[in-house]
Amino acid sequence: MFKALVLVRNLQSTADRLDFGEFTIERVGLRFKELRDTFSSVDVNQDDWIFEKAYAVPPSGPPGSAVGNIPNDIEDILVLFRLYKVGDIAFVKQAIIQPSGNRVVQFPYRAMNDLNSYAALQFELGPDECEPWNTFAKGLRASQSWQSEWFSIARNFFLYGGANEFNPKWDDVDRVVDYATTLETTLVPEQDFAKRRMSRRAAALVSLGDATEQRPSLKSSSNSTTSVPVLSTEAD
């Protein structure tokens, strides 16, 4: 049996334990010392929340993965929470316990870190919302777009944005760029068109000369066995 544990912040609830059937989220409380050992970090507090999910068989993952596709499954759940309602719910730390008892601790990365640990906009969820959330999640997972390539890109940037701080007063607005990328990928799922527009923007940032006379673009060199970005210009 595999067991995934995730430290959760920016969550408010009238209950101390939320049971979704496939997983639970409860207040850390007096387990903080135990969980500090689990996550190999002292940054675990009594008022934090702990997500727990057991897997009899982990979902199929990339070749060689010791924990299957569990990390991506956890990310999917975070996406579903953020789509369900407003609020900066944050998955801060992740650890997976293998059947042997070995512990695999995930290092911080763009989708899961402590940058947005204490947001002003809390994610409020009551115990009576567990079943409605399950219905909501089931509907999205059944969508033909859920496993599509364009949605995977939108999903990733949506996660990146939510994991960033947002404080315009101190110019912490990187999440706006991530959310704009998410929106553009969602509205124009054709990969080539989205890639072309983003390439032109990137080229415009590094190009010289009058932008009204020439339109810069990034192309891939066809003279190499690998795809190498090459700066070129196209006439209007």
pLDDT (tens digit per residue) in 32-53: 999 999 999 999 999 999 999 9
Kindly compute the dihedral angle of the four CA atoms of residues 54, 20, 183, 170, in this order, to the nearest 10 degrees: -90
Residue 141 Cα distances to 25, 44, 77, 136, 212, angstroms: 20, 31, 10, 9, 45
For range 20-41, the mean pLDDT? 97
Taking the CA atoms of 134, 140, 125 and 82 in sequence, report the sign of the dihedral they define. positive
Structure tokens belonging to residue 176: 């706006």
pLDDT of residue 209: 58
Taking the CA atoms of 146, 97, 66 and 49 in sequence, report the sign of the dihedral they define. positive
| Strands, E assignment, the chain | 2-9, 11-12, 17-19, 24-27, 49-55, 90-97, 103-106, 123-124, 215-220, 229-234
Rounded CA separation 108/117 (Å): 13
pLDDT over threshold 50, residue 107 = yes
Is the pTM for the entire model greater than 0.85?
no
What is the DSSP code string of 209-222? Answer: S-TTT-EEEEEE-T
Structure tokens belonging to residue 7: 């430290």
What digits encode the pLDDT tens for the residues 146-198?
Answer: 988 888 888 888 888 888 877 777 767 777 888 888 888 887 755 556 667 66
> Between these two residues, 22 and 208, which has the higher pLDDT value?
22
What digits encode the pLDDT tens for the residues 82-91?
Answer: 999 999 999 9
pLDDT over threshold 60, residue 108 = yes
pLDDT of residue 194: 62
pLDDT of residue 191: 56
**If residue 36 lies in a helix (H) or strand (E), which one and from where to where?**
helix 32-39
